[in-house]
Amino acid sequence: MPPLLTHIEGTSPCPFLPVPGHALDSAHTRSLGRERGPEFYKAALEYAQSLWLQGLPARSLLLINRALGADLSGEEAVMQDWPLPYAAAAWVMKHRTGVQFIGNPRRHYQHLATRMVEPRKELRTWRAWACWHMACMIFPDYPADEKQIAAEGIVEPDKATIFRELSRLGLPGEAELWSRAAEVEACRCC
C-alpha cells in the first residue's frame, strides 16, 4: 500500500492542483509510458501536488512543466477541473518557504524556453516564456543567465509578445488564463 500523503507542517495544498490520496513518486507518470494526453496531464498535476506537500517546490515546478507539455486540445474533461497550470506555477513559486529549495526559476525557465525540443516545440517554448515572465515578477532579484543571453543573442520577450504567441499557438483562452495568473498569482503586492 502506498504511504499516506503527509506534508510539511504549515504547508497547505496548492489550490490549483489536485490532491492525491497518497504520496506519489515518479512511477505515477512513468507508468503511462509514452502517453502524453489527458491521463498524463492529470497524473503530472497530482505528482506536482504530492511533491509540493512534501516540501519540494522545485521538483513540483518540474512536474508542472511536464503537465504544460501534455498533448491536449482543451476539450478534455480534466481541463474543466484543472485548467493549464499557470496559476499553480505562480502559486508554488510565491508560497514556498525560504528554507525550501527553489533554485532560480527565472534562469530555469529561460533555459527551458531557449532549449526546447519537439514535440510541440513552439507552443511549449512560449509556455516556458510565460512561466519565465511570472518568475521574473515573483523573484525580481534573481539573475538571468546573462552569459547565455549575450552568447546566443537571446531577446527576452515582453508580456504583450508572450500573450500574442499564446493566443496564436495555445488552446482557446490560454493567453487570458496565463494573463490572469500573471496579474493575480504572480503579483508581489497581493
One pLDDT digit (tens) per residue for the chain, 190 residues: 455 555 665 679 999 999 998 899 999 999 999 999 999 999 999 999 999 999 999 999 999 999 999 999 999 999 999 999 999 999 999 999 889 999 999 999 999 999 999 999 999 999 999 999 999 999 999 999 999 999 999 999 999 999 999 999 999 999 999 999 999 876 654 3
Q: What is the DSSP string of the chain?
A: -PPB----TTPPPPTTS---SB---THHHHTTTT--SHHHHHHHHHHHHHHHHTT-HHHHHHHHHHHHTS---S-SHHHHHS--THHHHHHHHHH--TTS----HHHHHHHHHHT--SSSHHHHHHHHHHHHHHHHHH-TTSPP-HHHHHHHT--PPPHHHHHHHHHHHS-TTHHHHHHHHHHHTS-TT-
Distances (CA, A) of 55 to 98, 101, 107, 148: 11, 9, 21, 30
Q: Is 51 left (phi over 0), alpha (psi -120 to 50) or beta?
A: alpha
What grid cell was written down for 40?
A: 498524463
Q: Yes or no: say if 91 and 16 are a contact pair by the CB < 8 Å rule.
A: yes
0.85 cut: is pTM over it? yes
What grid cell was written down for 12?
A: 497547505
